[in-house]
Amino acid sequence: MMNYILSFVFCGAVCVIAQLIYEYTTLTPGHITSLFVCIGSFLDLFHFYDRLIEWFHAGAMVPITSFGHSLMHGAMKQAEEFGILGIAMGMFDLTAAGITCAILFAFLVAIFFKPKS
């Protein structure tokens, strides 16, 4: 049960920060998500994002910040094996599932549905 509360609170808190940025600046959601992805990969620079996932479980895996973290994480894992080239090779290792799925279903949905309003 504790896991659920922690997930709820962390994911909610990240969204509130984004909401406040959205309300008080002229940044668009595109700007804000890009910013958060960069923050995510920056936090992984010192393995801090791994701590967050340990503490908050799924709550830290859902926000877009975790996308940056996963990119960074996959890249660093391959880098240990293949050196600096590994950064490019492993970039999509962990996020591949999500991106593939998003592309596939975006395509399928676009074929079978119509924009409503």
Q: Which of residues 1-60 bind another protein (CB under 8 A)?
A: 3-4, 7-16, 18-20, 22-24, 26, 29-30, 32-38, 40-42, 44-45, 57-59
User: In terms of Cα–Cα distance, which of 38, 98, 90 is closest to 68?
Assistant: 38
Say what the alpha-carbon torsion angle 76, 88, 61, 41 is, to the nearest 10 degrees. Answer: 70
Our CB check for another protein shows the closer of 45 and 51 to be 45
Q: Is residue 44 a contact partner of residue 68, using CB atoms and an 8 Å limit? A: yes
Q: How far is the CB of 27 from another protein (least distance, A)?
A: 11
Query: How far apart are alpha carbons 43 and 61 in whole angstroms?
Result: 13
Q: Is residue 6 a contact partner of residue 55, using CB atoms and an 8 Å limit? A: yes
Q: Which of residues 96-115 bind another protein (CB under 8 A)?
A: 97-99, 101-103, 105-115
Q: How far is the CB of 43 from another protein (least distance, A)?
A: 10
Q: Which of residues 56-95 bind another protein (CB under 8 A)?
A: 57-59, 61-64, 66-68, 71-72, 75-76, 79, 83-84, 87-88, 91, 94
If you ran DSSP here, which 8-state letter would residue 94 be given? T
